[in-house]
Chains A and B, each alone.
Chain A
């Protein structure tokens, strides 16, 4: 019997990490999808560095919430929808699920708008690009070929790195950047507040919570591997938001200084001009397309699964349509409705992309409240329930978002012009 090579401990640990890697990094990469890029480039071009503080604050919130979701997944082995149904009953489940459905519908619309916008940068009309993308994604997902494409799409989303490169090329005033990151500046003006809500909604997404918990639960990760999971979540969130911050800075140094507010995808692409010159549109479009398709492959299906699980409808891609009508119906419904909305004549694509994220922020407090209640329950989590600090941070986040929503309505009342 030949002696086997003994893998050194550090190599083993990296191996475990790579196996566990996934949910954190994927969810965070999805932060820089079409709605995300739209939100951040708009914010940087109009408000310069003011949004850096918000991104920093929201990052802390994202790390806390995603860690809670991951921990619940590991400890209970179940998904968020299951837990909500089992602990809170049907009525609350209905509230949570419909909120999720609406928020995700909004985001799906935004993703398809992203595909359409990137197509239009090349003169492909939205009436062609949107339906084709929808059909292709549906077929890919329904036949289970997602895994093959995942790598390609993840590669396309690496385009986000070009924002980082652009920023370093433009040499911004780092002192000003750092000041803006740690000193909050707020404007009581409806557009600003909408943008704040959109930033929050683009970063901490309701579906991100469900996705994180389900992935972790499905991987069957054990409590002893949990430190790796925690690292994945933290690292993923931090990395994703670093990229977001760089998108803001890049549009600030290129477009804000030139007085160009980003109102269309074409405007947003100009932010990459220092790096790519005339190919800026190409680069931007590739990134937008990749991120949108990636999200489209994941989001509608995961929403459908969560919804059906919560209500006990027959579900699963290995069932026929006649066996699981609700499952296929909801999936088709989300996609078809999103395409129809994007194809409404004259509807401006870019505003859709970022405004949809405010929907996420509207529904977030409901979900956060339920998640906090579940994760601080000793009955459910045993000794792994939230620490006091986690409850304070998560609760604070919930209150913060609700206050901003209120501020929005107050601002709209005082400034009816917008």
Chain B
């Protein structure tokens, strides 16, 4: 295993043992591959005037960098414009570990021989790597043996590395492809740690659904920052993709003119839903509920109910369907059936017989702590919100929002980086 830190600034020798010059950088190609091959060595200014050496002329890199041929037989290098200089652009920069789901700094780079080629195998983010860069390798090995817990996460294979640079579109798109495979909550956590230039460039390439999911998990500051740097039409599209309660929370924090403008740009139905939610105080059931829930009309059998759901657009929107609500023609709640019971039931049985006997409900102005209490007490996955005067069902509060009341999401505890 060869480390780039061992090669920086070392001499490159030609096939006859003559010194050529010191190493300035290493170029690799194909950063979208799992093992990008080294394509060239870049040398510092030297009296022989050799600048770049193609990789196929390298005989060995360690313990010394020697070529196969004499200095007069070095062939020219033909760049294709997509090479990545490792020392200038990857070493010491921040990268995303998509497997460990964290943002880390590159301390060293690992290279290995693969037949005729040399390839980049991974990135060293460990303390041992740091010490190696400082020339304190022995101390580094002592660390590895003492704190061996961190050794296994020390070198990240290149396939899990998303290397982001805001002004390098090719690497950006490779990084985006790797990042979107991560859960949105993890993407949001990483985006939160990036600087504004980088995350703006990164998020621009995300499609709207992924971006909406990521924003839902982000801190309010990040949400506002991202939305305000985006053309209003796209911002409106993103808001449509988000859950209405999340969209309402976000819009509530924006200045009134801005949120009005965005609501105008949204599709009428989606905007109406969000506006309805904006009417309620933030810390009540109305403020945290979502209007997307699955429902069926009265007097159906279990089988008919399932058909109805499959054809219902509202059911399509209900992403975390746990219960099915039976509503009459006035949209008043007549009963709640768990999805489990519905699926397991005899299709010809009357749906009414599966209704939960004791069902709890809350009102829009019920304080959020009381809602969380009921959800916890009765082990519910969601609780219906009923208008006290008309008995119309307005929405549901889901268990994840209840947890947020009791246990703040990770970002809430984070202090500004200026400290």
Contacts and interface: CB of A to CB of B under 8 A. Distances in A.
Q: A and B: real partners?
A: yes
Interface of A: 4, 23, 76-79, 82, 85-86, 89-91, 94, 141, 144, 146, 211, 214-215, 217-218, 220, 298, 301-302, 305, 311-313, 316-318
Interface in B381-399: none
Contacts of B196: 77, 217, 220
Nearest to B419: A301
A86 B415 contact: no
Contacts of B91: 89
With most chain A CB atoms within 10 A of its CB, the pick from B91, B94, B198, B256 is: B94
B209 to A, nearest CB: 25
Contacts, number: 71
Interface residues of B, number: 28
A398 to B, nearest CB: 24
B93 A86 contact: yes
Interface string B114-136: 00000000000101001001100
B130 A214 contact: no
A220 B416 contact: no
A85 to B, nearest CB: 5
B93 A305 contact: no
B419 A312 contact: no
Contacts of B113: none
Nearest to B91: A89
A78 B164 CA distance: 14
A78 B195 contact: yes
B416 A218 contact: yes
Contacts of B415: 144, 146, 316-318
Contacts of B130: 90, 311-312
Given A85-B105, A316-B415, A318-B415, 7 more contacts: A86-B93, A89-B91, A90-B133, A302-B419, A311-B130, A313-B127, A318-B410
B214 interface: no
A300 to B, nearest CB: 10
Contacts of B414: 316-318
B104 A312 contact: yes
Nearest to B198: A77
Nearest to A303: B419
Nearest to B193: A316
Contacts of B66: none
A312 B105 contact: yes
Contacts of B416: 218
Given A76-B197, A77-B195, A312-B130, A90 B419 contact: no
B92 A86 contact: yes
Helix, strand, loop or mixed for chain A's interface?
A: helix
17 contacts: A4-B257, A76-B197, A77-B196, A85-B92, A89-B92, A90-B133, A91-B133, A144-B415, A146-B415, A214-B417, A218-B416, A298-B419, A302-B419, A312-B125, A316-B415, A317-B419, A318-B413
Contacts of A317: 413-415, 419
A17 B402 CA distance: 39
Contacts of B198: 77
B418 A211 contact: yes
Interface of B: 91-94, 104-105, 107, 125, 127, 130, 133-134, 195-198, 221, 225, 256-257, 410, 413-419
Contact of B417 (A23, A144, A218): A218
Contacts of B197: 76-77
A76 B195 contact: yes
B418 A214 contact: yes
Contacts of A91: 133-134
Contacts of A298: 419
B417 A312 contact: no
B268 to A, nearest CB: 17
Contacts of A77: 195-198
With most chain A CB atoms within 10 A of its CB, the pick from B92, B125, B134 is: B92
A236 to B, nearest CB: 15
A23 B418 CA distance: 10
A312 B93 CA distance: 10
Given A86-B93, A94-B134, A312-B104, A215 B195 contact: no
A301 B93 CA distance: 23
With most chain A CB atoms within 10 A of its CB, the pick from B198, B410, B416 is: B416
A395 to B, nearest CB: 25
With most chain A CB atoms within 10 A of its CB, the pick from B104, B107, B195, B418 is: B418
B417 A79 contact: yes
Contacts of A211: 418
B129 to A, nearest CB: 9
A76 B91 CA distance: 18
A90 B130 CA distance: 7
A215 B413 contact: no
Nearest to A84: B92
B93 A144 contact: no
A266 B195 CA distance: 47
Nearest to B87: A89
Contacts of B221: 220
A89 B225 CA distance: 31
A30 to B, nearest CB: 13
Contacts of A86: 92-93
